[in-house]
Structure 1
Amino acid sequence: MTRVPPSLLRHRVGVEPYLGDGAYGPQFGPLVEHPALVGEAVRMARAADGREVTSTAQIIAAPGLECPAGSRVTLPGGWITTAISTAAHTAPGLPVPASTEVMCE
């Protein structure tokens, strides 16, 4: 299976994975930077609980990106947003690169 070519991942995003809620609110893992391709466009997306929400940024990254819904994402311009959903794209046997797509609020 091919991966999305690193030469296409022109941006850097920071991801603090959502770990769950604690006594003092949401808990996040350490900030990890990843190469990605970021598109800032307004689109409708479906949240994990089924609500339709507006996504203002979409991220394409290499397969295996750890970014569950609720994670904090720092975009290239310094804007901090929240991950709505994450989807792994694979197509075994086809000449399509595997990638991870993250929809952000």
Structure 2
Amino acid sequence: MSPRSIAFLMRHQVTVEPYLGDTSTGPRYGAAAPLRCFLDAQIRMVRSPAGEQVTSSSTVYAEPSTSVPTGSRVTLPDGQVTTVIWCKDRDGGGLPTPDHVEIALE
């Protein structure tokens, strides 16, 4: 059985500038690119990659092939700029569930 597409849920668009690393003048980002997604503006507690408990202001759900590095800069539809806390694949392991990528934002 093939994974279910979540394309019909992609009602929002954010702009992602991928984090490339730190320089002597601060973080370096790649070229801005649009990302079709479903944006859930809900505050919740999540764990950072370092294991710290941090507040996430919103979550982006995107197609399974999406890859957004931790630390990337994201501009929301309302113009707010935020940072990626983590990006995780959500794979149903062959079950008939909607596979997707979950991106927690500061």
Band the TM-score falls in, shorter-chain normalisation: over 0.9
CA contact under 8 A between 2:20 and 2:28: conserved in structure 1?
yes
CA contact under 8 A between 2:45 and 2:54: conserved in structure 1?
yes
Q: After superposition, what is the alpha-carbon deviation per residue over 1:25-71, rounded to whole angstroms, capped at 9, x for unaligned?
A: 11111111011000111100111111100001100000122211110
TM-score by length of 2: 0.93
Runs of 5+ unmatched residues, structure 2: none
Aligned to 2:29: 28
Alignment coverage as a number of residue pairs: 105
Residues 1:62 and 2:63 are matched in the alignment: yes
Aligned to 1:52: 53
CA contact under 8 A between 1:87 and 1:101: conserved in structure 2?
yes
Q: After superposition, what is the alpha-carbon deviation per residue over 1:47-103, rounded to whole angstroms, capped at 9, x for unaligned?
A: 111110000110000012221111001111111100101100112321012111000
Runs of 5+ unmatched residues, structure 1: none
Aligned to 1:82: 83
% same residue: 40
TM-score by length of 1: 0.93
Secondary structure in structure 2 of the residue aligned to 1:7: helix
Distance 1:80 1:88, change over 3 A: same
